[in-house]
Structure 1
Amino acid sequence: MKIMKYMEERFQNLEFIPSIYNQWGIGIHFCLGENIYQLKEKEELNLKRFQVVYEQITIIFNELFEQNDDIFLVTNMYKHKKEKCIRKLKVYQPFLKCKNHLNQILVKTYPYPFEINNAEEYEMQQFSLLCKPQDLRVTELLKAASNEDFPLKPKFGGYSTDYPDVFFVNITKDIIFFIYDDRGCEVIALDFKRIRPLYEKYHDWVEEYKCM
């Protein structure tokens, strides 16, 4: 199965761009970091905050995904059209346990999805891999998604234009999980029953939710 076929069947008209929460009628928007500021005095990174963020997103992921679930790992890479195409090796290799999965990654090019000056000079490459959570170094993936704006490792490789966006699509449970940076993450689902336990257990982290 390809990612767009699945999306047409289950999440019609949803675009893999931030924010998925605003595009869908069922979801939860979580606020991360428990109001701990990212920086200490003298602009030193507050590592305590990032540890809290890592713990929160790991908890959320583990509530949504089981090791044997079928998932798509979808990555948007944003680039200037004149930049050389990045190899999928650099996009996925650090986070795959088995390098044979590199041969299964699909890529499709789309127009640049954001409103900026000279947007026609840019494009989006979307990589997708059908796999299972057990095939991934999930901890490193979650941290890399959170580290977007700060000099912390692990980090996603990519182009100079924008930091990559990574979406975890659970096709076993019809749930999509997206970490936009250290400030928050979004979960959407076909059925609120799938994510209600998450809402009830971690209500203190919830920024807003929709269950129509």
Structure 2
Amino acid sequence: MKDSENITTPNPIKEMDLVQSRVLSENKTRVSYLKGENIFKQGAFAPYVIYVVEGLVKVYLQTGIEKQINISLAKAGDFLAFSSIFGENIHTYSTQALTDCEICMIEKETLKDLLLKNPEFALEITSKNYRNERHLFEIIKNVSYKQMRGKLASSLLYLSQEEFLKENVFKFLTRQEIADFASISTESAIKFLKEFEKEKIIQLKGKDISILNQEKLESISKNG
């Protein structure tokens, strides 16, 4: 990774007034990460809030020596380690650059002060965190109640959101990583992907996956 100078303030940060924006600029560092690099690790000290400027970041839980559950993808405009401003000093999950990324490391107290002084900014961040919370509930349902086809269908629907497809997300995901999003084995993921293709629900072309019948996939996800 490498540090960058002369940083500009990204959305939604740039929408704050000039004084607040200048304060933030003086208390952040912009860093470049190459695809595959770890940004921070579960259990490590959390000195900063992370803001994704560009690229996709894989967010995951390490559940064993060689086992993990992929929780979500963070995209441009998303915050990571946000709970650190409320006293959570240890990272509760790990992150890795799925693509080449640009991120900002922001001083926790600086961001906390800006949230208190800028209600609109605080409301926008709260809204993002609410959407993330809903996704976490979906993960719990996947792990606890759904069969493997339903788990995989839910993961494909999540990964096929427009903002991820714009980044050609499947180009950067291995079959194992897709399996880790669904909390199933790699072998099972490959098997059910082929089944979905035979049923004309999806189309496989190399690493790329295209959804042909979203209604059917949603039905499998719901009833799986």
TM-score band w.r.t. shorter chain: under 0.3
Larger radius of gyration: 2
Of structures 1 and 2, the one scoring higher in RCO (CA 8 A, sep 6+) is 1
Greater helix share, 1 or 2?
A: 2
- Compute the TM-score of the two structures, normalised by the length of structure 2: 0.21
